[in-house]
């Protein structure tokens, strides 16, 4: 029972974050040099004085600041994030249409990175100071220093252009008109390289954290106790240390959720993945600020949700956390 | 005499190169008999814990290992035993309990599961049977509501309860030998007395041999049949308890015993009660509990405490952890804000003074802290540490430095210590530096917060002596916080016994000692380890 | 500190990283002499594979890739170091104030820090650059603006931990002022952690910078590795070298800085030293 109340409390804590992003968004537009209306109009050729004036009244930019603010917040609470003139569609509609592929990409990359990273970190810690540890550590260091977009391009050169194993871009092969399982396989083939390009950095990160965390646990008193009970090293490792060592990795994963979204923007552009990253890139090219701000807001909400999930997982794994 | 369970022969434990000596334990011989408690006593760094761990084959890593000798357990040499065989003995035939029961338990597993693990490893009992045994074990160590304890996590229990659970775990399979590594050091005196009693009771009941590691002669007097004294890895003396305690042979044992504060009030002229220098009036302080749902709940650390410190006296604040004694000391030096009440220094209310207005009063009251490793800035030279106070109060740096060097002499350190860094000194030397820092601003009141509880007995005695000398020489008044009644009797003119944030009894030391009025005070005195021996009475060997 | 540097010098990986970074520095200094025409100069035929004349080939506009890599090194180091430095200064100030004064201001500042740690950093950096219009300064500001929370939490944590230590209480008991305690006692005691984490921040800043430049959010008049890769994308099929070499430059630089940072961490942080 206490647990659920705790989740409710965490949910309550998440609200100020969402609200904060709205405030930040509101002031970011006004941070731009020059008139907000002309910024909103974008660097489109259509920014005639009349059009700018139209925007000004439409967005209430001629009204006093507090009034604008209240109007902005009220609209945002109805998920009304404004209108993209470039795309001639409401911002929220544009974003929600593209949300699915991004979430799919992120979850795939995140799950792979977390599970494989934890496993590799465990392996490296078990085989500490052997060649296996050395190989994993060096590979981790290299992956940790590789920019994802470049890795993506290299993957395309090797696996698509030379070997022809995976398609270079897109979400699926629409022309083939696959259905059912065939479609799943098709999407998975398209997903493989972007997920790898996005996830490898985090895989390296989690491996590092897990290895360090495992090594930290080896010195703990409770490990000695388990040994004094006559428990085998293997059981001590899996029965006692693993869960204790995994907690910091999970915390780190929560903190990194925001960066994962940022990374997916770049990766999506490399692979032409039809998610909000590509949408953001297009908005960037046309300087469609309103759309960018909307994407920023929705992504941040996504991060808040991921953080909540991580929080819930942590509470289930760690009995010490009670409100 | 009963049979020998453990026979340690010529045990030598090697240390890695670069350690302060080549071996942690050198040529140790010790035999433990069934049904007897053998205390292995030594100061920090004597190698006593490593010796205990060597028995179970739990020495830390490849760099610390047994280099010579045999450890015969029921005739079998444990040193040469393969790891697989050793694992069968651990937990089943030799049990172990540790100093810190919080960290020795896995924080993520329930108590019941951790005890059950022993049965899982060593027996073929079914689930229901295992559960039943766990509950019975928890009842055997006198834990209330064992079913509920089994379902609890370590952090939900108190320190004493956790140690009881550890004991239940160690004795689950009725081992022939129990190794107890300072099992009561982290506990309060009253809890310590209970745990000692429990170990004694269970050990007698099952005829278990116990290897009990400790640094406290009081504990030895209470529980030991045999005593072995370890000095820097060498066993200097071993024998029956009464022989060692009453007629020690080796010089080191004699010195150690002489340094143990006795539970007696030493003869000394009564302090002439001067005017009140420092006073707390109805001081209240509560800590709000952390967390959202805990709002409204709070712990009352100080519940309307009024106490007066007179010029030239030493007032002891005695109590167990959580009694509020340290909180009161910090409140009276205004290092901790209080909720209500007043702190009065030489007739001036200093409770609400700003940092700046407080500064002139700061030099009148100085603190000496408990932890000699945390109380000195590791990045500063000793001379800078000592002269910081005078410099803050306007003394020219050059003059402050000269005086700092002179002060080092006063606290018994070589003036050359001035240019070194704190980490180059031992615990006792650091404590001397801390005292010099306090004295540098020529205070009128010294507040000492457990100044000797982190030190070995021999060092403890020296630091206490230094404090007494300084007090006599400089006419300083002292507020002395301690959990150790023996220390309080040695040094205090008056004693205030604290419990749950309030003073339960206050009076002249001799009076409190002779006729404690409050039941809690009596309980505290009774719980002092080795109380009877400490008072100088000869111990009679209890009839078996 | 001196003992720490000696430990650092014994760490072979960290030393190798230092050598690479030294070479990168050397490259930035000698670039104007090696490539006097600059990286934007049309040096030869477009899309030439690596040869003696163009060791790293030319791009679609006939620019020397090697010249770009040399000039990009300066951009990356300049942005990486100045952004990390600004983030460290700002983060340390926020964390220091929160950790020393505690109470409501701590609560407020830490909520703010957590907020900035939660929101997608790269997206915020993108937005800032777009709004401030891409230039060297705006990129530095944007990267610093998303990099400071880590340092703030570190410094606050250290201050809170140290603040409970008795030597800080002793100083307060002697009548030391707030600034004295902060600058004489607290900061010197957490400086080594700040240096170690700050050096790792340079690596993250460089990765952020290349990412921004890849999306076209760098200063258009300054050559950078991200810009080179972005320009090479279109000819990926026919000319692998245009994208590959700047990427390797990023990889080597970031890897080396990480090695240095890890080395500093191990050498200066006594807690990790045992491992």
Chain C: give the shortest CA distance to residue A183, in Å: 27
Nearest CA in chain B to C165: B374
The predicted structure's pLDDT at residue B542: 43
The predicted structure's pLDDT at residue B293: 46
3-state secondary structure chain A: CHHHHHHHHHHHHHHHHHHHHHHHHHHHHHHCCCCHHHHHHCCCCCCCHHHHHHHHHHCCCCCCHHHHHHHHHHHHHCCCCCEECCCCEEHHHHHHHHHHHHHHHHHHHHHHHHHHHHHHHHHHHHCCCCHHHHHHHHHHHHHHCCCHHHHHHHHHHHHHHHCCCCCCCCCCCHHHCCCHHHHHHHHHHHHHHHHHHHHHHHHHHHHHHHHHHHHHHHCCHHHHHHHHCCCCHHHHHHHHHHHHHHHHHHHHHHHHHHHHHHHHHHHHHHHCCCCHHHHHHHHHHCCCHHHHHHHHHHHHHHHHHHHHHHHHHHHHHCCCCCC
Q: How confident is the model over C59-83, as pLDDT tens digits?
A: 777 777 788 888 888 888 899 999 9
When pLDDT is averaged across residues A113-142 and rounded to a whole number, the result is 90
pLDDT-derived band of residue A33, with 50, 70 and 90 as boundaries? low
Which residues lie across from B494 on neighbouring strands? Answer: B315, B508
Chain A neighbors (3+ CB pairs < 8 Å): B, C
Q: How confident is the model over A175-203, as pLDDT tens digits?
A: 777 777 877 888 888 888 899 999 999 99
**How does C61-88 read in b/e, with b if 16+ C-beta sit within 10 Å?**
eebbbbbbbbbbbbbbbbbbbbbbbbbb
Using an 8 Å CB-CB cutoff, list chain C residues near A280. 123, 126
Which residues lie across from B499 on neighbouring strands? Answer: B502
pLDDT-derived band of residue B294, with 50, 70 and 90 as boundaries? very low
Nearest CA in chain B to C188: B379
Fold of B1-93+176-260: Rossmann fold (3.40.50)
- Asked if B374's CB is within 8 angstroms of C176's CB, the reply is no
| Closest to B300 measured CA to CA, from B336, B324, B271, B269 | B324
- Asked if B389's CB is within 8 angstroms of C175's CB, the reply is yes
Give the residue ranges of DSSP H helices in B171-275: 189-206, 217-223, 241-246, 251-259
Best mutation target among B374, B380, B440, B441 (most C Cβ atoms within 10 Å) is B374
Q: Which residue has the higher pLDDT, C270 or A65?
A: A65
Q: Does C118 touch chain A (CB under 8 A)?
A: yes
Q: How confident is the model over A265-309, as pLDDT tens digits?
A: 899 988 888 889 888 888 888 877 888 888 888 888 888 888 888
What percent of chain A is modeled with pLDDT above 70?
Answer: 89
Paired sense of beta strands B65-73 and B76-77, if any = antiparallel
The predicted structure's pLDDT at residue B271: 64
Using an 8 Å CB-CB cutoff, list chain C residues near B364. none
CB contacts < 8 A (A, B): 79
Nearest CA in chain B to C186: B377
Res B189 pLDDT > 50: yes
Chain C: give the shortest CA distance to residue B82, in Å: 27
The predicted structure's pLDDT at residue A47: 57
- Asked if C215's CB is within 8 angstroms of A265's CB, the reply is yes
Nearest CA in chain C to A211: C275
Predicted-complex ipTM score: 0.86
Res A57 pLDDT > 90: no
Q: What's the maximum distance between 2 C-alpha atoms anywhere in chain A?
A: 83
Nearest CA in chain A to C259: A141
Q: Does B387 touch chain C (CB under 8 A)?
A: no
- Asked if C123's CB is within 8 angstroms of A147's CB, the reply is no
Rounded CA-CA distance A233/A231 in Å is 7
Chain A: give the shortest CA distance to residue B449, in Å: 29
Q: How confident is the model over A79-106, as pLDDT tens digits?
A: 777 777 777 778 888 888 888 899 999 9
Q: Average model confidence (pLDDT) for chain B?
A: 87
Eight-state DSSP code of residue B475: T
- Asked if B358's CB is within 8 angstroms of C174's CB, the reply is no
Chain C neighbors (3+ CB pairs < 8 Å): A, B
- Asked if B366's CB is within 8 angstroms of C173's CB, the reply is yes
Res A59 pLDDT > 80: no
Q: How confident is the model over B318-337, as pLDDT tens digits?
A: 998 888 899 999 999 998 88
When pLDDT is averaged across residues A232-243 and rounded to a whole number, the result is 89
Q: Where are the beta strands (DSSP E) in B346-486?
A: 348-349, 365-368, 445-449, 477-482
The predicted structure's pLDDT at residue A204: 93
Chain C: give the shortest CA distance to residue B303, in Å: 23
Best mutation target among B93, B108, B119, B152 (most A Cβ atoms within 10 Å) is B108
Q: Which residue has the higher pLDDT, A312 or B280?
A: B280
- Asked if C250's CB is within 8 angstroms of A147's CB, the reply is yes
Res B448 pLDDT > 90: yes
Nearest CA in chain A to B155: A320
Q: How many CB atoms lie within 10 A of CB B137?
A: 25
When pLDDT is averaged across residues A252-271 and rounded to a whole number, the result is 87
When pLDDT is averaged across residues B488-511 and rounded to a whole number, the result is 91
Find the chain C residues whose C-beta atoms sit closer than 8 A to any C-beta of B.
Answer: 165-167, 169-178, 180, 184-185, 188-189
Q: How many CB atoms lie within 10 A of CB A105?
A: 27
pLDDT-derived band of residue B226, with 50, 70 and 90 as boundaries? very high
Tell me the backbone φ, ψ of residue C253, rounded to 5 degrees: -65, -50
Check: CB of residue A203 under 8 Å from CB of residue A113: yes
Cα of first residue to Cα of last residue in chain C, in angstroms, is 19
Structure-token pair, residue C107 = 């609560």
Using an 8 Å CB-CB cutoff, list chain A residues near C123. 261-262, 265, 280, 295-296, 299-300
Q: Does A95 touch chain C (CB under 8 A)?
A: no
Structure-token pair, residue B101 = 């029961």
Nearest CA in chain C to A284: C130
Low-confidence ranges of chain C (pLDDT < 70): 1-2, 43, 270-275
Q: How many CB atoms lie within 10 A of CB A187?
A: 17
Query: Which A-chain residues 233-262 have CB contacts (< 8 A) with chain C?
Result: 255, 258-259, 261-262
pLDDT-derived band of residue A116, with 50, 70 and 90 as boundaries? very high
Tell me the backbone φ, ψ of residue B306, rounded to 5 degrees: -120, 125
Using an 8 Å CB-CB cutoff, list chain C residues near A148. 211
Distance of CA B522 to the CA centre of its chain: 21
Using an 8 Å CB-CB cutoff, list chain C residues near A266. 122, 211, 214-215
The predicted structure's pLDDT at residue B110: 92
CB contacts < 8 A (A, C): 137
- Asked if A17's CB is within 8 angstroms of C130's CB, the reply is no
- Asked if B392's CB is within 8 angstroms of C175's CB, the reply is yes
**Lookup result for tokens 């220094």:** B345
Structure-token pair, residue B11 = 């045990």
Using an 8 Å CB-CB cutoff, list chain C residues near A161. 236-237
Among the partner-chain residues C127, C243, C250, the one whose CB lies closest to the CB of A296 is C127
When pLDDT is averaged across residues B418-442 and rounded to a whole number, the result is 90
DSSP readout, B319-332? --TTSSHHHHHHHH
Rounded CA-CA distance B202/B167 in Å is 10
CA angle, A210 as apex, C149 and C88 as ends, to 5°? 20
Q: Which domains does chain C have, with CATH numbers?
A: 2-29+69-273 (1.10.3720.10)
Eight-state DSSP code of residue B307: E
What percent of chain B is modeled with pLDDT above 90?
Answer: 39
Chain A: give the shortest CA distance to residue B149, in Å: 15
Tell me the backbone φ, ψ of residue B346, rounded to 5 degrees: 50, 45
Q: Where are the beta strands (DSSP E) in chain C?
A: none
Rounded CA-CA distance B236/B29 in Å is 10
Residue B113 in 3-state DSSP?
Answer: helix
Res B544 pLDDT > 50: no
Sign of the alpha-carbon torsion through C247, C250, C256, C261: negative
Using an 8 Å CB-CB cutoff, list chain B residues near A236. none
Give the residue ranges of DSSP H helices in B78-231: 83-89, 101-104, 111-122, 127-140, 146-151, 159-170, 189-206, 217-223
Q: How many CB atoms lie within 10 A of CB B270?
A: 10
Domain extent listing, chain B: 1-93+176-260, 98-172
Q: Which domains does chain A have, with CATH numbers?
A: 16-80 (no CATH), 101-322 (1.10.3720.10)
A269 exposure class (CB count in 10 Å sphere: 0-12, 13-18, 19+): buried
In order of B23, B46, B66, B78, the CA distances from B17 in angstroms are 10, 18, 15, 25
**How does C39-54 read in b/e, with b if 16+ C-beta sit within 10 Å?**
beeebeeebbeeeeeb
Best mutation target among C101, C163, C166 (most B Cβ atoms within 10 Å) is C166
When pLDDT is averaged across residues B371-396 and rounded to a whole number, the result is 90
| Closest to B177 measured CA to CA, from B31, B300, B387 | B31
The predicted structure's pLDDT at residue A270: 87
Rounded CA-CA distance B66/B75 in Å is 18
B218 exposure class (CB count in 10 Å sphere: 0-12, 13-18, 19+): buried
The predicted structure's pLDDT at residue A323: 44
The predicted structure's pLDDT at residue A42: 56
Structure-token pair, residue B159 = 């320190």
Q: Does B326 touch chain C (CB under 8 A)?
A: no
- Asked if B441's CB is within 8 angstroms of C166's CB, the reply is no
When pLDDT is averaged across residues B237-252 and rounded to a whole number, the result is 90
Q: Average model confidence (pLDDT) for chain A?
A: 82
Q: How many CB atoms lie within 10 A of CB C12?
A: 10
Res A44 pLDDT > 80: no
Structure-token pair, residue B215 = 């640094």
Chain B: give the shortest CA distance to residue A302, in Å: 25
Nearest CA in chain C to A281: C215
Among the partner-chain residues C131, C214, C252, the one whose CB lies closest to the CB of A266 is C214
- The structure's pTM equals 0.85
Q: Does C275 touch chain A (CB under 8 A)?
A: yes
Q: How confident is the model over B514-532, as pLDDT tens digits?
A: 889 999 999 988 888 887 7
Nearest CA in chain A to C123: A262
3-state secondary structure A153-213: HHHHHHHHHHCCCCCCCCCCCHHHCCCHHHHHHHHHHHHHHHHHHHHHHHHHHHHHHHHHH
| Closest to A107 measured CA to CA, from A184, A195, A170, A197 | A195
Nearest CA in chain C to B358: C175
Among the partner-chain residues A20, A258, A281, the one whose CB lies closest to the CB of C120 is A258
Q: Which residue has the higher pLDDT, C272 or B229?
A: B229
The predicted structure's pLDDT at residue C273: 40
Using an 8 Å CB-CB cutoff, list chain A residues near B61. none
Check: CB of residue C232 under 8 Å from CB of residue C242: yes
Dihedral of the alpha carbons of B136, B139, B143, B148, in degrees to the nearest 10: 50
- Asked if A292's CB is within 8 angstroms of C130's CB, the reply is yes
């Amino acid at each position: 029972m206490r647990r659920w109340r705790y989740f409710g409390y965490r949910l309550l804590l998440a609200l100020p974050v969402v609200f904060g992003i709205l405030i930040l968004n509101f002031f970011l537009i006004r941070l731009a040099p020059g008139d907000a209306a002309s910024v909103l109009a974008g660097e489109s050729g259509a920014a005639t004085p009349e059009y700018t004036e139209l925007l000004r009244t439409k967005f209430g930019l001629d009204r006093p600041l507090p009034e604008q603010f209240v109007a902005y917040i009220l609209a945002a609470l109805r998920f009304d994030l404004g209108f993209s003139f470039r795309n001639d569609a409401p911002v929220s509609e544009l974003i929600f249409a593209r949300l699915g592929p991004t979430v799919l990409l992120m979850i795939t990359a995140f799950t792979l990175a977390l599970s494989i990273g934890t496993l590799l970190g465990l392996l490296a810690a078990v085989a500490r100071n052997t060649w296996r540890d050395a190989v994993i550590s060096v590979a981790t260091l290299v992956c940790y220093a590789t920019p994802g977009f470049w890795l993506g391009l290299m993957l395309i050169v090797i696996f698509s252009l030379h070997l022809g194993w995976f398609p270079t871009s897109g979400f699926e092969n629409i022309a083939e008109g696959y259905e059912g399982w065939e479609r799943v396989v098709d999407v998975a083939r398209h997903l493989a390289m972007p997920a790898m390009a996005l996830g490898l950095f985090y895989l390296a990160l989690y491996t590092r954290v897990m290895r360090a965390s495992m090594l930290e646990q080896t010195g703990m008193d409770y490990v000695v106790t388990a040994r004094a009970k006559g428990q085998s090293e293997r059981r001590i490792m899996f029965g006692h240390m693993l869960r204790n060592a995994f907690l910091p990795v999970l915390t780190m994963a929560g903190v990194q959720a925001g960066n994962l979204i940022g990374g997916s923007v770049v990766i999506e552009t490399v692979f032409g993945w039809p998610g909000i990253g590509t949408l953001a890139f297009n908005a960037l090219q046309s300087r469609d600020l309103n759309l960018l701000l909307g994407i920023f807001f929705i992504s941040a909400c996504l991060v808040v949700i991921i953080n909540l999930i991580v929080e819930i997982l942590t509470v289930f794994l760690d009995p010490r956390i009670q409100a | 005499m009963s049979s020998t369970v453990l026979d340690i022969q010529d045990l030598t434990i090697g240390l890695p190169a670069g350690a302060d000596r080549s071996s942690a334990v050198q040529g140790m011989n010790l035999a433990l008999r069934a049904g007897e408690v053998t205390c292995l006593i030594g100061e920090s760094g004597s190698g006593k814990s490593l010796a205990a761990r060597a028995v179970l084959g739990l020495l830390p890593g490849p760099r610390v290992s047994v280099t010579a000798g045999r450890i015969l357990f029921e005739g079998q040499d444990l040193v040469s035993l393969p790891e697989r065989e050793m694992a069968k003995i651990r937990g089943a035939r030799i049990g172990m309990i540790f100093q810190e029961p919080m960290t020795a338990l896995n924080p993520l597993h329930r108590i019941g599961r951790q005890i059950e693990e022993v049965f899982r490893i060593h027996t073929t009992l079914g689930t229901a049977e295992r559960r039943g045994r766990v509950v019975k074990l928890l009842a055997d160590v006198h834990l209330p509501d064992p079913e509920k304890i089994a379902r609890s996590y370590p952090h939900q229990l108190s320190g004493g309860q956790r140690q009881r659970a550890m004991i239940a775990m160690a004795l689950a399979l009725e081992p022939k030998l129990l190794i107890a590594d300072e099992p009561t050091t982290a506990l309060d005196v009253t809890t310590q007395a209970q745990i000692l009693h429990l170990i004694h009771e269970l050990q007698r009941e099952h005829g278990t041999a116990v290897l009990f590691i400790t640094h406290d002669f009081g504990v030895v007097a209470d529980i030991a049949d045999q005593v072995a004294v370890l000095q820097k890895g060498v066993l200097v003396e071993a024998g029956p308890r009464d022989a060692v305690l009453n007629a020690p042979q080796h010089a080191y044992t004699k010195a150690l015993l002489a340094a143990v504060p006795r539970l007696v009030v030493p003869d000394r002229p009564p302090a002439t009660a001067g005017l009140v220098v420092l006073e707390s009036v109805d001081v209240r302080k509560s800590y709000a509990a952390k967390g959202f749902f805990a709002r409204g709940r709070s712990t009352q650390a100080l519940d309307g405490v009024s106490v007066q410190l007179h010029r030239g006296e030493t007032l002891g604040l005695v109590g167990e952890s959580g009694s509020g004694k340290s909180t009161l000391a910090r409140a009276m030096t205004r290092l901790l804000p209080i909720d209500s009440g007043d702190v009065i220094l030489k007739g001036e209310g200093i409770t609400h003074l700003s940092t700046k207005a407080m500064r002139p009063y700061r030099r009148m009251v100085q603190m000496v802290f408990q932890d000699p490793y945390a109380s000195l800035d590791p990045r500063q030279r000793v001379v800078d540490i000592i002269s910081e106070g005078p410099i803050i109060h306007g003394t020219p740096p050059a003059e402050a430095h000269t005086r700092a060097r002179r002060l080092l002499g006063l606290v018994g350190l070589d003036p050359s210590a001035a240019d070194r860094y704190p980490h180059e000194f031992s615990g006792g030397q650091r404590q001397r530096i801390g005292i010099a820092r306090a004295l540098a601003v020529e205070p009128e009141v010294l507040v000492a917060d457990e100044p000797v509880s982190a030190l070995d007995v021999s060092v403890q005695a020296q630091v206490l002596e230094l404090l007494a000398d300084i007090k006599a020489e400089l006419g300083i008044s002292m507020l002395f916080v301690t959990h150790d009644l023996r220390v309080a009797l040695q040094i205090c003119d008056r004693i205030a016994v604290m419990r749950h944030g309030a003073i339960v009894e206050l009076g002249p030391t001799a009076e409190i000692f002779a006729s404690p009025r409050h039941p809690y005070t009596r309980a505290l005195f009774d719980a002092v380890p080795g109380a009877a021996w400490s008072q100088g009475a000869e111990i009679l060997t209890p009839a078996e | 500190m001196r003992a720490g540097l000696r430990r650092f010098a014994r760490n072979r990986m960290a030393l190798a990283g230092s050598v690479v970074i030294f070479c990168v520095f050397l490259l930035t200094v000698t670039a104007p002499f090696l490539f006097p025409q600059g990286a934007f100069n049309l040096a030869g035929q477009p899309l030439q594979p690596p040869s003696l004349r163009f060791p790293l080939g030319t791009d679609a506009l006939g620019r020397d890739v090697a010249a770009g890599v040399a000039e990009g090194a300066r951009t990356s180091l300049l942005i990486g170091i100045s952004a990390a430095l600004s983030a460290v200064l700002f983060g340390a100030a926020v964390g220091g104030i929160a950790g020393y004064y505690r109470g409501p201001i701590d609560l407020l500042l830490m909520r703010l820090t957590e907020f900035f740690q939660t929101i997608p950093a790269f997206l915020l950096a993108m937005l800032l650059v777009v709004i401030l219009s891409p230039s060297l300064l705006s990129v530095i500001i944007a990267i610093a603006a998303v990099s400071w929370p880590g340092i703030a939490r570190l410094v606050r944590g250290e201050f809170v931990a140290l603040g409970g230590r008795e030597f800080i209480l002793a100083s307060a008991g002697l009548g030391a002022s707030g600034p004295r305690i902060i600058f004489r006692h607290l900061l010197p005691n957490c400086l080594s952690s700040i240096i170690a984490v700050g050096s790792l921040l340079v690596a993250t800043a460089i990765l952020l910078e290349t990412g921004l430049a890849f999306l076209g959010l760098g200063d258009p008049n300054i050559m950078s590795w991200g810009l080179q890769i972005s320009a090479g994308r279109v000819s990926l099929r026919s000319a692998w070298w245009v994208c590959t070499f700047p990427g390797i430059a990023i990889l080597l630089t970031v890897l080396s800085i990480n090695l240095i940072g890890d080395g500093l961490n191990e050498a200066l942080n006594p807690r990790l030293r045992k491992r």
